[in-house]
Structure 1
Amino acid sequence: MMGMQVAPARLFYDFCLDDHVPADHLLRRIDRFLDLESVRTTLKPFYSTIGRPSVDPELMMRMLIVGYCMGLRSERRLCEEVHLNLAYRWFCRLGLDGKVPDHSIFSRNRHGRFRQSDILRHLFETVVERCLAEGLVGGEGFAVDASLIAADANKQRSIPGDEWRAKDHGADAHRAVKEYLATLDEAAWGAATDVEPKFVSPSDPAAQWTGAMRGPAFFAYATNYLIDTDHAIILDVEATRAIRQAEVGAARTMLDRTAERFGLKPQHLAADSAYGSADDLAWLVKEKQIAPHIPVIDKADRTDGTFSRSDFAYDREQDLYICPGGKHLVQYRRNFTNRRSGVTKDGIKFYRAKQSDCQSCDLKARCCPNTPRRRIPRSLVEDARDVARALAGTPAFERSRHHRKKIEMLFAHLKRILKLARLRLRGPSGARDEFLLAATAQNLRRLAKLRPMPILAREGA
Structure 2
Amino acid sequence: MMGPKQEAQAALFYEFSLEDHVLQDHLLRSIDRFADLDDIRQYLAEFYSHTGRPSIDPELLIRMLLVGYCFGIRSERRLCEEVHLNLAYRWFCRLDLSDPVPNHSTFSKNRHGRFRESKLLRHLFEKTVARCIADGLVSCQRLAADASLIEADANKQNSTPKKDWDHSTIAPADAPRAVKEYLDVLDDAAFGAASKVDPKFTSHSDPASQWSKEDQKTIWEIVFPTNARKGPAFFSYSTNCLIDTDHSVIVDVEGTRSIRQAEVGSVRTMLDRIKDLHDINPERLIADSGYGSGPMLGWLVDRNIKPHIPVLDKSGRTGGTWSRADFEWDAENNHYICPGGEPHKQFRRNYSDPNRRPTGKGVAKYQALKHTCQACPSKMKCCPNADARKITREEHEGARQIARDIAKTKQYVVSMRLRKKVEMLFAHLKRILGLGRLRLRGPCGANDEFLLAATAQNLRKLAKIFPAPQQTSKA
Task: Say whether the fold is shared (TM-score over 0.5).
Answer: yes
Unaligned runs of 5+ residues in structure 2 are 217-230
> 1:439 aligned to 2:440?
no
Letter paired with 1:267: E
* CA–CA separation in structure 2 for the residues paired with 1:414 and 1:190: 26
Q: Per-residue displacement from partner, 1:115-170 (whole Å, max 9, x unpaired)? A: 10000000101111111111100111000110000000011121101111111111
Summarize deviations over 1:201-249 as a string: whole Å, max 9, x none: 0110001001233521100000000000100000000000000000000
Range 35-44 or range 56-65, more displaced: 35-44
1:291 aligns with 2:306: yes
Of 365, 368, 377, which residue of structure 1 is paired with 2:392? 377
Show the counterpart of 1:276: 292
The number of residue pairs the alignment matches comes to 458
Corresponding residue to 1:221 among 227, 237, 241:
237
Kindly indicate whether the alpha-carbon contact (under 8 Å) linking 1:73 and 1:419 is maintained by their aligned counterparts in 2.
yes
Q: TM-score, normalised by structure 2?
A: 0.94
Contact 1:24 1:458 in 2 (8 A): no
- Which residue of the partner structure matches residue 117 of structure 1? 118
CA distance in 2, matches of 1:313, 1:329: 10
Name the TM-score, length of structure 1 as normaliser.
Answer: 0.97
Counterpart mapping for 1:27-426 below 5 A: 27-170=28-171, 171-213=173-215, 215-286=231-302, 288-336=303-351, 342-426=357-441
Deviations 1:74-99 (Å, cap 9, x if unpaired)? Answer: 00110010000000000000011111
Q: Which moved more, 1:341-350 or 1:270-279?
A: 341-350
Q: Is the 8 A contact 1:137 1:230 kept in 2?
A: yes
Secondary structure of residue in 2 paired with 1:191: coil
**Helix, strand or coil at the partner of 1:192:** coil
**Residues in 2 aligned to 1:36 and 1:225: alpha-carbon distance in whole angstroms:** 24
Taking a change above 3 Å as real, the CA distance of residues 459 and 147 of structure 1, as seen in their structure-2 partners, is: farther
Shift in CA distance, 128/340, structure 1 to aligned 2, threshold 3 Å: same
* Aligned-partner SS, 1:223: strand
The 2-side partners of 1:9 and 1:165 are apart by 66
Displacement of 1:303: 3.2
1:167-207 per-residue CA deviation (whole Å, 9 max, x = no partner) reads 11111011100001001001001000111111000110001
**RMSD of aligned C-alpha atoms?**
1.4
Taking only the aligned residue pairs, the percentage that are identical comes to 60
| CA displacement 1:52-89 (0-9 Å, x = unmatched) | 11000000000000000010000011001000000000
> Secondary structure of 1:227's match?
strand
Distance 1:167 1:124 in 2: 36
In the alignment, the residues of structure 1 paired with residue 253 and residue 465 of structure 2 have an alpha-carbon distance, to the nearest angstrom, of 21
8 Å Cα contact 1:23/1:458 also seen in 2: no
TM-superposition CA deviations, 1:373-404 (whole Å, max 9, x none): 11111012211111111100311111111111
CA contact (8 A) 1:293 1:388 kept: yes
TM-superposed deviation, 1:339? 8.8
What is the CA distance between 1:342 and its match in structure 2? 0.8
Write the distance in 2 (CA, Å) between the matches of 1:458 and 1:225.
40
| Residue 13 of structure 1: how far off its partner (Å) | 1.5
